[in-house]
Amino acid sequence: VRIPEQGLSREEVLQRLEEYRAHDAETRQGRAWGLVYDAGVRQVEDLAKQAYTDFLAINALDPTAFPSVLRIENDLVAMAAAHLQSGPEVVGNFTSGGTESCMLAVKTARDWARANRPEVAHPEVILGTTAHPAFHKGCHYLDVRPVLVDVDPVTFKVDPEAVAQAVSPNTIMIVGSAVSYAHGVVDPIRELSEIARRHGLLLHVDGCIGGFLLPYLRRLGASVPDFDFSVPGVTSMSMDWHKYGYAPKGASVVLYRDKALRKFQFYACASWPGYPIINPTIQSSRSGGPLAAAWAVVNFLGDAGYIELARRTLEATRKLVAGIGSIPSLRVLGVPESSLIAIASDDVNVFYVADAMRRRRWLISAQPQFGPSPASLHLIVTASSLGQVDGFLKDLAGSVEEARGSGSRLDPALREILANLDPAALTDEILDAMLGAAGVEWGSISESMAEVNTIMDSLPPAVREALLIAGGNTLFTPSP
Ligand SMILES: Cc1ncc(COP(=O)(O)O)c(C=O)c1O
């Protein structure tokens, strides 16, 4: 593919793009149980598009040229801070997504420790094994060591005892989730706060997926443990507008207890002849689109709109949990405390269930086993899910029966071999052969992922990671 010699017509461009979308999952009407957060309200989507395009050309890099986006950002941060019960000192920034918010929390902690605890040569952050990979990624980029601690095998919440034991002279921060992605539960933030305060550590609460919804669920009568700035030891939080705020992608916020801590997030550079740089976040040039769209959606829905969306989400989640409990062979992992449901099975291969659901035009993902968490299906319930619950449960029951018939489990001997594969022994040739066998080739992934996922599930995490990188390296190949 080359830049076309002559430009195409507007109609042709749009038609070609539409053709590219032919195999995409549906984003509306509650058919996607992950990746997409649909309020199910058409005016929200239309308004977001309008605001996004109105601010598309604005560059938030320079708020002196575009004061509108500075004002929008400060409005959104104020709303997020109040929503999470902050005091007047809390500050923060708008970021491109949960990953950027979490990585920035790690960067701030690292630079805070460099200034305040110079004796720490090799900083460590304590993470439950259920913490989002955004923290691993932050540690990886920033040369901070992630120290993983177990979660309780029944509740899937971080074990505070294990955290207390993991604290070392190098620890700079503890991370808790509210809620965790994989099981949708709130870590014991009060206990983590006590440990953090006892040792003079920072405590980040990752509310990317749960932080916006939980206060509404509490107001609707659900039991929600303390998780936000009302807990004294919480020093920073992340929360995504582009999840349960129902804003378009590219919208999150990271908050700090005060400016004295937040200043370590900033980056400035005046050591060149060009414009002096002051970047609060990772991006430098950035479109005003996501900011304006998030602001528009939040102001359009308002508190009353959000509580209604939360009510629908809660009702859908409760119906699903009850319905899943009555499908033979399925069980819900832990007790979901928000809107995420992990579903395991002792006698059916869940990866085949996910494929069977995909064939029925439902997008659901499957999670491989890790630690005490068995392989599971993962549902992100949104306000648009409510109208789909009955049809979804019927198809889920049908898919389980289909998978019972067709879904194979790996031979235990092969599983044993795979589980003991040494990542150091994997050459690029072996990885490519494995990918070829799995049907991963340029620009496409097979729609049927069950075999691949079943094998991935048996591999040690380091081998899974090597395969994922090799797979990415294959998929992202320039178009011929
Ligand atoms: C708890 C949690 N943290 C962080 C993230 C990363 O967010 P993003 O995908 O917006 O980068 C997610 C994503 O689902 C999440 O659930």
Atom of ligand 1 nearest to the CA of 252: 10
CB of 134 within 6 A of ligand 1: the answer is yes
Each residue's pLDDT, cut to its tens digit, for the chain (480 residues) gives 999 999 999 999 999 999 999 989 999 889 999 999 999 999 999 999 999 999 999 999 999 999 999 999 999 999 999 999 998 999 999 999 999 999 999 999 999 999 999 999 999 999 999 999 999 999 999 999 999 999 999 999 999 999 999 999 999 999 999 999 999 999 999 999 999 999 999 999 999 999 999 999 999 999 999 999 999 999 999 999 999 999 999 999 999 999 999 999 999 999 999 999 999 999 999 999 999 999 999 999 999 999 999 999 999 999 999 999 999 999 999 999 999 999 999 999 999 999 999 999 999 999 999 999 999 999 999 999 999 999 999 999 999 999 997 766 778 888 888 888 888 888 888 888 877 777 666 555 666 789 889 988 999 999 999 989 988 888 888 999
What are the two backbone dihedrals, phi and then psi, of residue 386, each rounded to the nearest 5 degrees? -55, -45
CB of 128 within 6 A of ligand 1: the answer is no
Q: How far is the CA of 347 from the centre of ligand 1 (A)?
A: 30
Q: What is the pLDDT of residue 409?
A: 72
Name the token pair of 480: 């011929």
Tell me the pairing of strands 91-95 and 252-256.
antiparallel
SS (H, E, C) 372-408: CECCEEEEECCHHHHHHHHHHHHHHHHHHHHHHHHCC
The set of residues, in sequence order, having a beta carbon less than 8 Å from that of 258 and lying 6+ positions away, is: 89, 90, 91
Contact 330, 324 (CB under 8 A): yes
CA 5 to chain centre: 40
Task: Tell me which residue has its CA closest to atom 16 in ligand 1.
Answer: 181
- Cα-based distances in Å from 249 to 37, 282, 347: 9, 16, 37
Q: How far is the CA of 210 from the centre of ligand 1 (A)?
A: 10
Atom of ligand 1 nearest to the CA of 179: 1
Contact 187, 158 (CB under 8 A): yes
Other beta carbons less than 10 A from residue 238's beta carbon: 32
CB of 76 within 6 A of ligand 1: the answer is no
Per the document, the length of the chain is 480
* From 240, 242, 252, 382, mutation site for ligand 1 pocket: most ligand atoms within 8 A of C-beta: 240
